[in-house]
Amino acid sequence: MELFLITFLLLGIAFAGIAIKIWAKKGGEFSGTCASQSPFLNKENETCSYCGKLPSEQNCKVTNPSHN
């Protein structure tokens, strides 16, 4: 029983940390949202599959990202 309480407590702290990070960020947006722009994942310098951003560009081309 003690293990379940510790597990739920740690999960609650993790969710609270993520919620605080989203709340504290301007507009609730994480920086670097184009995962395909990681040099570890994109070794051939391809554009982002979501927004079309080139690896040399800083900001995502999608102004209002929604995953609908």
Q: pTM of this prediction?
A: 0.43
Among positive and negative, which fits the CA dihedral 49, 54, 58, 63? Answer: negative
The pLDDT tens digits of the residues spanning 6-63 come to 999 999 999 999 888 777 776 656 655 566 667 777 777 777 777 777 777 766 666 6
Asked whether 33 and 60 are in contact (CB, 8 A), the reply is yes
